[in-house]
Amino acid sequence: MKQSYPPVTTKKVDIKRIAKRLILMAKKDQQIRDKYFSKNEKKYLDKMWKVDEANQKEFKEIFNETGLITSKYGSEAQMAAFLIVQHMPREDVKFMKKYLTLMKKSMAGYPTNIYAMLVDRVRNWEGKDQLYGTQFMPVEGLESTYKLKELYRPNMVDKRRIELGLEPLGDYIKKLQEERGVTLIL
């Protein structure tokens, strides 16, 4: 049975309640990820998966009520929705693609880097190379070291990034390393 998802909705919803809920869900998401990435302990990974699972279930219920989380919910709620969708597992790639399609149709309020991250994550879950170079994987045995996942036509990545309004990949990697205190390798 083919599952359909609602488009951007016009029905009456409690925007403030939904926005607050999404923001709280994203705070839990980021708190557990901060612990996991700073301590790199399995117990935090297990907790992260539990938070993700609960958030994803609740987000799908919200989405069925609201459709795309647009700028009317506020930029913080939009970012929260993105984080929850971004952290969905491979099994939810169809849902992620639907959200991405709606996001592309209504980019108002969504920064282009958010769009790029979700495009790359979806492509990754589909077994395709990423377009924009936003996805990394941990390097086993090297603490706080991550490797860039495979790129589709790597010689064109900066062109794609610039067309989307993003900085070149080398600048992005330098910025991430400084912000997060990690080593990123190509």
The pLDDT score that the predictor gives to residue 4 is 52
Strand order of the β-sheet with 136-138 is: 136-138, 145-148, 183-185
Residue 183 main-chain phi, psi, to 5 deg: -105, 130
Residue ranges per structural domain of the chain: 15-110, 112-186
Q: Are 76 and 64 in contact (CB under 8 A)?
A: no
Whether residue 1 is predicted with pLDDT greater than 70 in this model: the reply is: no
Number of H helices, E strands in the chain: 7, 3
Structure-block tokens of residue 82: 């993105």
Average pLDDT, the chain: 89
Q: Which run of H or E residues covers position 117?
A: helix 112-125
pTM of the model: 0.84
pLDDT digits (tens, 9 = 90+) for 165-176: 999 999 999 998
CB-based burial of residue 121 (10 Å sphere; 0-12 exposed, 13-18 middle, 19+ buried)? buried
Strand ranges for the chain from DSSP E: 136-138, 145-148, 183-185
Whether residue 29 is predicted with pLDDT greater than 70 in this model: the reply is: yes
Say what percent of the chain tops pLDDT 90. 65
pLDDT digits (tens, 9 = 90+) for 51-94: 999 999 999 999 999 999 988 899 999 999 999 999 999 999 99
The pLDDT score that the predictor gives to residue 9 is 47
Q: Can you give the length of the chain in residues?
A: 186
